Structure 1
Protein backbone atom coordinates (compact mmCIF):
# COMPACT_ATOMS: atom_id res chain seq x y z
CA UNK A 1 0.00 0.00 0.00
CA UNK A 2 1.29 3.43 -0.91
CA UNK A 3 2.51 5.41 2.10
CA UNK A 4 0.83 8.77 2.60
CA UNK A 5 3.36 11.45 3.56
CA UNK A 6 2.86 13.10 6.91
CA UNK A 7 2.05 16.78 7.29
CA UNK A 8 5.51 17.30 8.77
CA UNK A 9 7.16 15.65 5.77
CA UNK A 10 5.10 17.66 3.27
CA UNK A 11 5.90 20.88 5.09
CA UNK A 12 9.59 20.08 5.07
CA UNK A 13 9.66 19.33 1.36
CA UNK A 14 7.68 22.46 0.48
CA UNK A 15 9.93 24.67 2.60
CA UNK A 16 13.12 23.59 0.82
CA UNK A 17 14.29 25.98 -1.90
CA UNK A 18 13.51 24.75 -5.39
CA UNK A 19 16.04 25.81 -7.99
CA UNK A 20 16.85 24.87 -11.56
CA UNK A 21 20.52 24.67 -12.42
CA UNK A 22 20.10 25.71 -16.05
CA UNK A 23 18.00 28.74 -15.07
CA UNK A 24 20.58 29.73 -12.45
CA UNK A 25 23.32 29.53 -15.06
CA UNK A 26 21.32 31.59 -17.57
CA UNK A 27 20.72 34.25 -14.91
CA UNK A 28 24.44 34.31 -14.09
CA UNK A 29 25.29 34.87 -17.75
CA UNK A 30 22.76 37.68 -18.13
CA UNK A 31 23.98 39.29 -14.92
CA UNK A 32 27.54 39.43 -16.23
CA UNK A 33 26.72 42.50 -18.35
CA UNK A 34 27.11 45.96 -16.81
CA UNK A 35 26.82 49.53 -18.13
CA UNK A 36 30.63 49.56 -18.23
CA UNK A 37 30.76 46.19 -20.05
CA UNK A 38 27.71 45.97 -22.33
CA UNK A 39 29.49 43.59 -24.75
CA UNK A 40 31.39 40.47 -23.70
CA UNK A 41 33.13 37.59 -25.45
CA UNK A 42 32.07 34.03 -24.77
CA UNK A 43 35.21 33.51 -22.70
CA UNK A 44 34.49 36.57 -20.57
CA UNK A 45 30.88 35.46 -20.06
CA UNK A 46 31.96 31.97 -19.02
CA UNK A 47 34.51 33.36 -16.58
CA UNK A 48 32.05 35.85 -15.06
CA UNK A 49 29.42 33.14 -14.57
CA UNK A 50 31.93 30.54 -13.35
CA UNK A 51 31.00 28.10 -16.10
CA UNK A 52 32.96 25.90 -18.50
CA UNK A 53 33.09 27.48 -21.92
CA UNK A 54 31.10 24.69 -23.70
CA UNK A 55 28.32 24.98 -21.07
CA UNK A 56 28.23 28.75 -21.42
CA UNK A 57 28.09 28.45 -25.21
CA UNK A 58 25.13 26.08 -25.08
CA UNK A 59 23.11 28.38 -22.82
CA UNK A 60 24.11 31.56 -24.66
CA UNK A 61 22.99 30.02 -27.96
CA UNK A 62 19.53 29.49 -26.48
CA UNK A 63 19.42 33.03 -25.08
CA UNK A 64 20.34 34.46 -28.50
CA UNK A 65 17.67 32.34 -30.20
CA UNK A 66 15.02 33.60 -27.78
CA UNK A 67 16.01 37.25 -28.04
CA UNK A 68 17.46 37.65 -24.57
CA UNK A 69 20.98 38.08 -25.99
CA UNK A 70 22.42 39.22 -29.29
CA UNK A 71 25.63 38.35 -31.08
CA UNK A 72 27.54 40.92 -33.13
CA UNK A 73 29.53 40.24 -36.28
CA UNK A 74 32.76 40.20 -34.28
CA UNK A 75 31.37 37.42 -32.10
CA UNK A 76 30.80 39.49 -28.97
CA UNK A 77 27.54 39.13 -27.09
CA UNK A 78 25.16 41.72 -25.68
CA UNK A 79 21.77 41.86 -24.01
CA UNK A 80 18.81 41.31 -26.32
CA UNK A 81 15.76 43.35 -27.28
CA UNK A 82 13.40 41.14 -25.25
CA UNK A 83 14.85 42.61 -22.07
CA UNK A 84 13.85 46.15 -23.10
CA UNK A 85 10.15 45.55 -22.64
CA UNK A 86 10.69 43.47 -19.51
CA UNK A 87 12.90 46.17 -18.00
CA UNK A 88 10.29 48.83 -18.68
CA UNK A 89 7.63 46.72 -16.95
CA UNK A 90 9.86 46.23 -13.92
CA UNK A 91 10.79 49.91 -13.66
CA UNK A 92 7.26 51.23 -14.02
CA UNK A 93 5.89 48.81 -11.44
CA UNK A 94 8.48 49.20 -8.72
CA UNK A 95 6.73 50.53 -5.64
CA UNK A 96 9.47 53.07 -5.00
CA UNK A 97 9.27 54.43 -8.56
CA UNK A 98 5.48 54.75 -8.44
CA UNK A 99 5.76 56.54 -5.10
CA UNK A 100 8.46 58.99 -6.20
CA UNK A 101 7.97 59.63 -9.95
CA UNK A 102 5.62 62.63 -9.70
CA UNK A 103 7.77 64.35 -7.06
CA UNK A 104 10.87 63.77 -9.18
CA UNK A 105 9.20 65.46 -12.15
CA UNK A 106 8.36 68.50 -10.00
CA UNK A 107 11.90 68.68 -8.64
CA UNK A 108 13.38 68.47 -12.15
CA UNK A 109 11.12 71.28 -13.40
CA UNK A 110 11.98 73.47 -10.41
CA UNK A 111 15.75 73.05 -10.80
CA UNK A 112 16.39 72.15 -14.44
CA UNK A 113 18.85 69.47 -13.30
CA UNK A 114 18.88 65.68 -13.61
CA UNK A 115 16.98 63.98 -10.79
CA UNK A 116 17.76 60.33 -9.98
CA UNK A 117 16.34 57.68 -7.70
CA UNK A 118 18.47 54.88 -6.33
CA UNK A 119 16.98 51.81 -4.64
CA UNK A 120 18.96 50.29 -1.79
CA UNK A 121 20.13 46.69 -1.66
CA UNK A 122 21.30 46.48 1.94
CA UNK A 123 22.33 42.83 1.69
CA UNK A 124 24.79 43.63 -1.11
CA UNK A 125 25.50 47.14 0.22
CA UNK A 126 24.69 48.55 -3.22
CA UNK A 127 22.41 51.16 -4.72
CA UNK A 128 20.81 50.79 -8.17
CA UNK A 129 19.47 53.68 -10.22
CA UNK A 130 15.84 52.76 -10.94
CA UNK A 131 14.41 56.03 -12.27
CA UNK A 132 15.67 59.29 -13.77
CA UNK A 133 14.26 62.61 -14.97
CA UNK A 134 16.67 64.29 -17.37
CA UNK A 135 17.96 67.83 -17.12
CA UNK A 136 16.61 70.52 -19.41
CA UNK A 137 20.16 71.80 -20.01
CA UNK A 138 22.17 70.79 -23.06
CA UNK A 139 25.13 70.05 -20.78
CA UNK A 140 23.84 67.46 -18.33
CA UNK A 141 24.91 64.33 -16.47
CA UNK A 142 23.87 60.92 -17.78
CA UNK A 143 23.08 58.42 -15.02
CA UNK A 144 22.05 55.16 -16.73
CA UNK A 145 19.05 53.36 -15.26
CA UNK A 146 20.17 50.01 -13.93
CA UNK A 147 23.65 51.18 -12.92
CA UNK A 148 24.73 49.62 -9.63
CA UNK A 149 27.33 51.12 -7.34
CA UNK A 150 28.62 50.51 -3.87
CA UNK A 151 27.32 52.36 -0.80
CA UNK A 152 29.13 54.80 -1.12
CA UNK A 153 30.89 56.46 -3.13
CA UNK A 154 28.53 59.06 -4.50
CA UNK A 155 25.63 61.11 -3.22
CA UNK A 156 23.08 58.28 -3.34
CA UNK A 157 25.18 55.96 -1.21
CA UNK A 158 25.97 58.64 1.35
CA UNK A 159 22.30 59.62 1.53
CA UNK A 160 21.37 56.06 2.43
CA UNK A 161 23.95 56.13 5.23
CA UNK A 162 22.55 59.28 6.85
CA UNK A 163 19.17 57.55 6.90
CA UNK A 164 20.53 54.89 9.26
CA UNK A 165 20.94 55.15 13.01
CA UNK A 166 24.44 56.30 13.86
CA UNK A 167 25.67 52.97 15.21
CA UNK A 168 24.31 51.04 12.22
CA UNK A 169 25.81 53.51 9.75
CA UNK A 170 29.21 53.11 11.38
CA UNK A 171 28.90 49.32 11.22
CA UNK A 172 28.03 49.46 7.51
CA UNK A 173 30.92 51.83 6.78
CA UNK A 174 33.35 49.53 8.63
CA UNK A 175 32.37 46.69 6.26
CA UNK A 176 32.67 48.70 3.03
CA UNK A 177 35.68 48.32 0.69
CA UNK A 178 35.71 52.11 -0.04
CA UNK A 179 37.48 51.87 -3.39
CA UNK A 180 38.50 55.12 -5.09
CA UNK A 181 36.48 56.16 -8.15
CA UNK A 182 38.25 59.54 -8.42
CA UNK A 183 41.01 61.28 -6.50
CA UNK A 184 38.30 62.83 -4.30
CA UNK A 185 36.58 59.58 -3.28
CA UNK A 186 36.51 58.85 0.45
CA UNK A 187 38.71 55.85 1.25
CA UNK A 188 39.23 56.61 4.95
CA UNK A 189 36.33 55.12 6.96
CA UNK A 190 36.92 57.47 9.91
CA UNK A 191 36.67 60.54 7.66
CA UNK A 192 33.49 59.14 6.09
CA UNK A 193 31.94 58.50 9.52
CA UNK A 194 32.64 62.11 10.50
CA UNK A 195 31.14 63.40 7.26
CA UNK A 196 28.00 61.28 7.64
CA UNK A 197 27.50 62.66 11.16
CA UNK A 198 27.74 66.22 9.83
CA UNK A 199 25.37 65.61 6.93
CA UNK A 200 22.85 63.78 9.12
CA UNK A 201 22.27 67.07 10.93
CA UNK A 202 21.56 68.80 7.58
CA UNK A 203 19.23 66.08 6.31
CA UNK A 204 21.01 65.81 2.97
CA UNK A 205 24.46 64.95 1.62
CA UNK A 206 26.75 66.69 -0.84
CA UNK A 207 29.05 65.02 -3.35
CA UNK A 208 31.65 66.95 -5.32
CA UNK A 209 33.59 64.90 -7.83
CA UNK A 210 33.71 61.78 -5.65
CA UNK A 211 31.99 59.40 -8.08
CA UNK A 212 32.56 61.18 -11.40
CA UNK A 213 35.10 63.92 -11.98
CA UNK A 214 33.61 67.42 -12.40
CA UNK A 215 30.15 66.19 -11.34
CA UNK A 216 28.44 67.34 -8.16
CA UNK A 217 25.23 66.27 -6.51
CA UNK A 218 22.99 66.34 -3.48
CA UNK A 219 20.80 63.55 -2.14
CA UNK A 220 18.54 62.59 0.75
CA UNK A 221 17.14 59.28 2.04
CA UNK A 222 13.60 58.11 1.29
CA UNK A 223 11.71 55.89 3.75
CA UNK A 224 8.49 54.27 2.61
CA UNK A 225 8.33 51.72 5.41
CA UNK A 226 10.64 50.22 7.99
CA UNK A 227 13.58 51.72 9.84
CA UNK A 228 16.04 51.69 6.95
CA UNK A 229 15.64 53.96 3.91
CA UNK A 230 14.53 52.03 0.84
CA UNK A 231 15.95 54.57 -1.61
CA UNK A 232 17.82 57.80 -2.05
CA UNK A 233 16.61 60.81 -4.03
CA UNK A 234 19.38 62.72 -5.75
CA UNK A 235 20.07 65.65 -8.02
CA UNK A 236 23.25 65.80 -10.13
CA UNK A 237 24.86 68.21 -12.56
CA UNK A 238 28.17 69.69 -13.74
CA UNK A 239 30.16 71.06 -10.80
CA UNK A 240 30.62 74.42 -12.51
CA UNK A 241 26.85 74.96 -12.77
CA UNK A 242 25.98 73.70 -9.29
CA UNK A 243 28.67 75.76 -7.60
CA UNK A 244 27.01 78.25 -5.28
CA UNK A 245 23.67 76.43 -5.54
CA UNK A 246 24.42 73.40 -3.39
CA UNK A 247 22.71 74.57 -0.20
CA UNK A 248 19.53 75.63 -2.02
CA UNK A 249 19.37 72.43 -4.05
CA UNK A 250 20.16 70.28 -1.01
CA UNK A 251 17.27 71.84 0.92
CA UNK A 252 14.89 71.19 -2.01
CA UNK A 253 15.93 67.55 -2.27
CA UNK A 254 15.74 67.10 1.51
CA UNK A 255 12.23 68.56 1.69
CA UNK A 256 11.03 66.49 -1.26
CA UNK A 257 12.43 63.31 0.22
CA UNK A 258 10.84 64.14 3.58
CA UNK A 259 7.43 64.57 1.92
CA UNK A 260 7.80 61.21 0.20
CA UNK A 261 8.87 59.54 3.44
CA UNK A 262 5.91 61.02 5.28
Structure 2
Protein backbone atom coordinates (compact mmCIF):
# COMPACT_ATOMS: atom_id res chain seq x y z
CA UNK A 1 0.00 0.00 0.00
CA UNK A 2 1.38 3.39 -0.92
CA UNK A 3 1.21 6.46 1.26
CA UNK A 4 0.05 9.95 0.48
CA UNK A 5 2.20 11.47 -2.30
CA UNK A 6 4.81 13.78 -0.87
CA UNK A 7 4.27 12.64 2.73
CA UNK A 8 7.35 11.50 4.67
CA UNK A 9 7.58 7.73 5.14
CA UNK A 10 6.24 6.45 8.46
CA UNK A 11 8.92 4.86 10.60
CA UNK A 12 8.11 1.27 11.50
CA UNK A 13 7.92 0.55 15.22
CA UNK A 14 7.47 4.20 16.21
CA UNK A 15 4.21 5.75 17.30
CA UNK A 16 3.34 9.27 16.18
CA UNK A 17 4.11 12.06 18.68
CA UNK A 18 0.60 12.15 20.10
CA UNK A 19 1.50 11.49 23.72
CA UNK A 20 1.73 8.26 25.68
CA UNK A 21 -0.46 5.33 24.61
CA UNK A 22 -3.81 5.12 26.37
CA UNK A 23 -2.77 2.00 28.23
CA UNK A 24 0.31 3.76 29.65
CA UNK A 25 -1.78 6.67 30.87
CA UNK A 26 -4.36 4.31 32.39
CA UNK A 27 -1.60 2.46 34.23
CA UNK A 28 -0.20 5.78 35.40
CA UNK A 29 -3.57 6.60 36.97
CA UNK A 30 -3.64 3.29 38.81
CA UNK A 31 -0.04 3.77 39.95
CA UNK A 32 -0.91 7.15 41.47
CA UNK A 33 -2.50 5.38 44.45
CA UNK A 34 -0.40 4.06 47.31
CA UNK A 35 -0.85 2.99 50.92
CA UNK A 36 -0.59 6.61 52.09
CA UNK A 37 -3.03 7.93 49.47
CA UNK A 38 -5.71 5.26 48.83
CA UNK A 39 -8.26 7.96 47.91
CA UNK A 40 -7.56 10.67 45.34
CA UNK A 41 -9.55 13.50 43.81
CA UNK A 42 -9.49 14.13 40.08
CA UNK A 43 -7.14 17.09 40.52
CA UNK A 44 -4.81 14.93 42.64
CA UNK A 45 -4.82 12.21 40.00
CA UNK A 46 -3.98 14.80 37.37
CA UNK A 47 -1.21 16.35 39.45
CA UNK A 48 0.37 13.05 40.49
CA UNK A 49 0.41 11.67 36.93
CA UNK A 50 0.94 14.82 34.87
CA UNK A 51 -2.14 13.95 32.80
CA UNK A 52 -4.47 16.87 32.03
CA UNK A 53 -7.62 16.80 34.13
CA UNK A 54 -9.91 16.34 31.12
CA UNK A 55 -7.94 13.31 29.92
CA UNK A 56 -7.64 11.94 33.45
CA UNK A 57 -11.42 12.17 33.86
CA UNK A 58 -12.03 10.36 30.59
CA UNK A 59 -9.57 7.58 31.45
CA UNK A 60 -10.90 7.29 34.99
CA UNK A 61 -14.40 6.91 33.56
CA UNK A 62 -13.31 3.93 31.48
CA UNK A 63 -11.57 2.40 34.48
CA UNK A 64 -14.72 2.93 36.56
CA UNK A 65 -16.80 1.12 33.94
CA UNK A 66 -14.44 -1.87 34.00
CA UNK A 67 -14.20 -1.91 37.79
CA UNK A 68 -10.52 -1.04 38.15
CA UNK A 69 -11.54 2.16 39.97
CA UNK A 70 -14.37 3.06 42.30
CA UNK A 71 -15.71 6.51 43.17
CA UNK A 72 -17.17 7.48 46.52
CA UNK A 73 -19.99 9.85 47.34
CA UNK A 74 -17.39 12.57 47.98
CA UNK A 75 -16.12 12.22 44.39
CA UNK A 76 -12.77 10.73 45.30
CA UNK A 77 -11.42 7.73 43.41
CA UNK A 78 -10.02 4.51 44.86
CA UNK A 79 -8.81 1.17 43.49
CA UNK A 80 -11.71 -1.11 42.54
CA UNK A 81 -12.36 -4.71 43.54
CA UNK A 82 -12.19 -5.91 39.94
CA UNK A 83 -8.50 -5.09 39.90
CA UNK A 84 -7.99 -7.16 43.05
CA UNK A 85 -9.89 -10.05 41.50
CA UNK A 86 -7.59 -10.07 38.49
CA UNK A 87 -4.44 -9.66 40.59
CA UNK A 88 -5.46 -12.58 42.81
CA UNK A 89 -5.12 -14.88 39.77
CA UNK A 90 -1.37 -14.34 39.61
CA UNK A 91 0.24 -17.82 39.74
CA UNK A 92 3.07 -16.48 41.90
CA UNK A 93 0.63 -15.58 44.67
CA UNK A 94 -2.53 -17.64 44.16
CA UNK A 95 -1.10 -21.18 44.20
CA UNK A 96 1.52 -20.22 46.76
CA UNK A 97 -1.07 -18.74 49.12
CA UNK A 98 -3.34 -21.77 48.84
CA UNK A 99 -0.52 -24.07 49.87
CA UNK A 100 0.90 -21.75 52.51
CA UNK A 101 -2.21 -20.62 54.40
CA UNK A 102 -2.69 -23.78 56.54
CA UNK A 103 0.94 -23.65 57.65
CA UNK A 104 0.71 -19.91 58.26
CA UNK A 105 -2.42 -20.47 60.32
CA UNK A 106 -0.60 -22.96 62.52
CA UNK A 107 2.24 -20.50 63.13
CA UNK A 108 -0.17 -17.65 63.85
CA UNK A 109 -2.03 -19.81 66.37
CA UNK A 110 1.20 -20.70 68.15
CA UNK A 111 2.80 -17.23 68.17
CA UNK A 112 -0.35 -15.06 68.36
CA UNK A 113 1.57 -12.46 66.38
CA UNK A 114 2.30 -11.80 62.67
CA UNK A 115 3.06 -14.44 60.03
CA UNK A 116 4.31 -13.11 56.68
CA UNK A 117 4.71 -14.64 53.24
CA UNK A 118 6.64 -12.70 50.59
CA UNK A 119 8.11 -13.09 47.11
CA UNK A 120 10.80 -11.08 45.35
CA UNK A 121 9.76 -8.58 42.70
CA UNK A 122 12.69 -6.70 41.25
CA UNK A 123 14.73 -5.08 44.00
CA UNK A 124 11.96 -5.39 46.59
CA UNK A 125 9.88 -8.05 48.30
CA UNK A 126 6.10 -8.11 47.91
CA UNK A 127 4.02 -9.45 50.78
CA UNK A 128 1.46 -11.80 49.26
CA UNK A 129 -0.15 -12.70 52.60
CA UNK A 130 -0.10 -11.72 56.26
CA UNK A 131 -1.93 -13.31 59.17
CA UNK A 132 -2.08 -11.22 62.34
CA UNK A 133 -3.60 -11.91 65.73
CA UNK A 134 -5.47 -9.36 67.81
CA UNK A 135 -2.98 -7.55 70.01
CA UNK A 136 -0.01 -8.29 67.74
CA UNK A 137 2.83 -5.79 67.77
CA UNK A 138 2.53 -2.87 65.32
CA UNK A 139 3.45 -3.91 61.78
CA UNK A 140 5.13 -1.73 59.17
CA UNK A 141 3.95 -3.61 56.10
CA UNK A 142 0.60 -4.74 54.74
CA UNK A 143 -0.44 -7.57 52.44
CA UNK A 144 0.25 -6.39 48.90
CA UNK A 145 2.84 -3.93 50.14
CA UNK A 146 6.51 -3.79 49.20
CA UNK A 147 9.34 -4.44 51.64
CA UNK A 148 13.06 -3.66 51.38
CA UNK A 149 15.19 -6.75 50.80
CA UNK A 150 18.08 -5.62 52.97
CA UNK A 151 16.26 -4.74 56.21
CA UNK A 152 13.39 -7.20 56.67
CA UNK A 153 13.47 -10.86 57.65
CA UNK A 154 11.73 -12.14 54.53
CA UNK A 155 13.69 -9.72 52.36
CA UNK A 156 17.05 -10.94 53.68
CA UNK A 157 16.10 -14.55 52.91
CA UNK A 158 15.04 -13.66 49.37
CA UNK A 159 18.24 -11.65 48.85
CA UNK A 160 20.45 -14.39 50.31
CA UNK A 161 19.16 -16.95 47.81
CA UNK A 162 19.01 -14.59 44.81
CA UNK A 163 21.44 -14.79 41.91
CA UNK A 164 25.00 -13.72 42.88
CA UNK A 165 25.02 -10.98 40.23
CA UNK A 166 21.81 -9.49 41.62
CA UNK A 167 23.21 -9.62 45.15
CA UNK A 168 26.28 -7.69 44.05
CA UNK A 169 24.09 -5.04 42.41
CA UNK A 170 22.21 -4.58 45.69
CA UNK A 171 25.38 -4.56 47.79
CA UNK A 172 26.89 -1.89 45.55
CA UNK A 173 24.06 0.54 46.39
CA UNK A 174 24.03 2.93 49.36
CA UNK A 175 21.55 1.13 51.65
CA UNK A 176 19.77 2.31 54.78
CA UNK A 177 18.01 0.26 57.42
CA UNK A 178 14.36 1.36 57.48
CA UNK A 179 12.64 2.86 59.40
CA UNK A 180 15.66 3.47 61.65
CA UNK A 181 17.42 5.30 58.77
CA UNK A 182 20.78 3.79 59.74
CA UNK A 183 23.39 3.05 57.05
CA UNK A 184 23.91 -0.60 56.13
CA UNK A 185 27.46 -1.95 56.15
CA UNK A 186 27.99 -3.89 52.89
CA UNK A 187 30.54 -6.15 54.62
CA UNK A 188 28.14 -6.91 57.49
CA UNK A 189 25.27 -7.53 55.06
CA UNK A 190 27.44 -9.88 53.02
CA UNK A 191 28.24 -11.89 56.18
CA UNK A 192 24.55 -11.97 57.12
CA UNK A 193 23.57 -13.33 53.71
CA UNK A 194 26.23 -16.04 53.94
CA UNK A 195 24.93 -17.06 57.37
CA UNK A 196 21.36 -17.25 56.04
CA UNK A 197 22.45 -19.51 53.18
CA UNK A 198 24.36 -21.69 55.63
CA UNK A 199 21.62 -21.94 58.27
CA UNK A 200 18.52 -21.70 56.08
CA UNK A 201 17.21 -19.13 58.52
CA UNK A 202 17.23 -15.37 59.10
CA UNK A 203 16.91 -13.71 62.50
CA UNK A 204 16.46 -9.94 62.46
CA UNK A 205 16.06 -7.62 65.43
CA UNK A 206 14.82 -4.07 65.07
CA UNK A 207 13.76 -1.26 67.37
CA UNK A 208 11.06 0.50 65.31
CA UNK A 209 8.14 0.92 65.35
CA UNK A 210 8.67 -1.21 68.48
CA UNK A 211 11.29 -3.78 69.56
CA UNK A 212 10.61 -6.89 67.47
CA UNK A 213 12.29 -10.05 66.29
CA UNK A 214 11.67 -11.50 62.82
CA UNK A 215 12.57 -15.12 62.08
CA UNK A 216 12.32 -16.14 58.41
CA UNK A 217 13.01 -19.22 56.27
CA UNK A 218 13.06 -19.92 52.51
CA UNK A 219 10.31 -21.67 50.54
CA UNK A 220 11.43 -23.80 47.56
CA UNK A 221 9.59 -24.91 44.43
CA UNK A 222 9.79 -28.26 42.62
CA UNK A 223 13.09 -27.23 41.01
CA UNK A 224 14.63 -26.36 44.37
CA UNK A 225 14.57 -22.63 43.63
CA UNK A 226 13.71 -20.28 46.49
CA UNK A 227 10.44 -18.70 45.39
CA UNK A 228 9.23 -17.15 48.66
CA UNK A 229 10.11 -16.47 52.27
CA UNK A 230 8.04 -17.18 55.38
CA UNK A 231 8.50 -15.34 58.66
CA UNK A 232 7.05 -14.66 62.07
CA UNK A 233 7.31 -11.23 63.68
CA UNK A 234 7.10 -11.20 67.48
CA UNK A 235 7.85 -8.75 70.31
CA UNK A 236 11.53 -8.71 71.24
CA UNK A 237 10.63 -9.10 74.90
CA UNK A 238 10.78 -12.79 75.81
CA UNK A 239 11.30 -13.77 72.15
CA UNK A 240 13.16 -17.06 71.76
CA UNK A 241 14.52 -17.36 68.21
CA UNK A 242 15.96 -20.79 69.02
CA UNK A 243 12.43 -22.06 69.53
CA UNK A 244 10.87 -20.04 66.74
CA UNK A 245 13.49 -21.03 64.17
CA UNK A 246 12.61 -24.75 64.00
CA UNK A 247 8.89 -23.94 63.83
CA UNK A 248 9.32 -21.46 60.97
CA UNK A 249 11.72 -23.74 59.12
CA UNK A 250 9.36 -26.71 59.48
CA UNK A 251 6.42 -24.67 58.15
CA UNK A 252 8.51 -23.38 55.23
CA UNK A 253 9.56 -26.95 54.36
CA UNK A 254 5.90 -28.02 54.51
CA UNK A 255 4.96 -25.29 52.03
CA UNK A 256 7.90 -26.32 49.86
CA UNK A 257 6.67 -29.91 49.78
CA UNK A 258 3.23 -28.64 48.84
CA UNK A 259 4.83 -26.86 45.89
CA UNK A 260 6.48 -30.07 44.77
CA UNK A 261 9.86 -29.76 46.49
CA UNK A 262 9.84 -33.29 47.84
CA UNK A 263 13.54 -33.07 48.49
CA UNK A 264 13.42 -29.85 50.48
CA UNK A 265 16.80 -28.98 52.01
CA UNK A 266 17.45 -30.77 55.27
CA UNK A 267 17.48 -28.88 58.56
CA UNK A 268 21.08 -27.86 59.40
TM-score by length of 1: 0.75
2:253 is aligned to 258
> Would the alpha carbon gap of residues 211 and 103 (structure 1) be closer, same or farther in structure 2, given more than 3 Å must change?
same
Candidates 236, 241, 261, aligned match of 1:246:
241
Candidates 212, 217, 220, aligned match of 2:214:
217
The answer to whether residue 57 in structure 2 is matched with residue 57 in structure 1 is yes
1:156 is aligned to 154
Q: CA RMSD in A?
A: 3.2
Deviation at 1:168, TM superposition (A): 4.3
Cα deviation, 1:82-101, whole Å, max 9, x if unaligned, reads: 33544555589722212322
**Unaligned stretches of 5+ residues in structure 1:** 1-12, 14-19
Deviation at 1:221, TM superposition (A): 1.5
Using the alignment, how far apart are the partners of 2:57 and 2:244 within structure 1?
Answer: 50
Describe how 1:39-54 pairs up with structure 2 within 5 A.
39-46=39-46, 48-49=48-49, 51-54=51-54
Deviation at 1:146, TM superposition (A): 0.5
**Unaligned stretches of 5+ residues in structure 2:** 1-12, 14-19, 257-263
Cα deviation, 1:172-204, whole Å, max 9, x if unaligned, reads: 432545244222655232221122223333321
> Would the alpha carbon gap of residues 69 and 184 (structure 1) be closer, same or farther in structure 2, given more than 3 Å must change?
same
**Relative to total residues, which structure has the larger helix share, 1 or 2?**
1
2:16 is aligned to none
What SS class does the counterpart of residue 40 from structure 1 fall into? coil
What SS class does the counterpart of residue 248 from structure 1 fall into? helix
Using the alignment, how far apart are the partners of 1:177 and 1:44 within structure 2?
Answer: 32
Describe how 1:45-194 pairs up with structure 2 within 5 A.
45-46=45-46, 48-49=48-49, 51-72=51-72, 75-88=75-88, 90=90, 94-121=94-121, 124-135=122-133, 137-142=134-139, 143-164=141-162, 167-168=164-165, 170-183=167-180, 187-194=184-191
| Alignment check: 8 A CA contact 1:159 1:204 kept | yes
| Alignment check: 8 A CA contact 2:119 2:158 kept | no
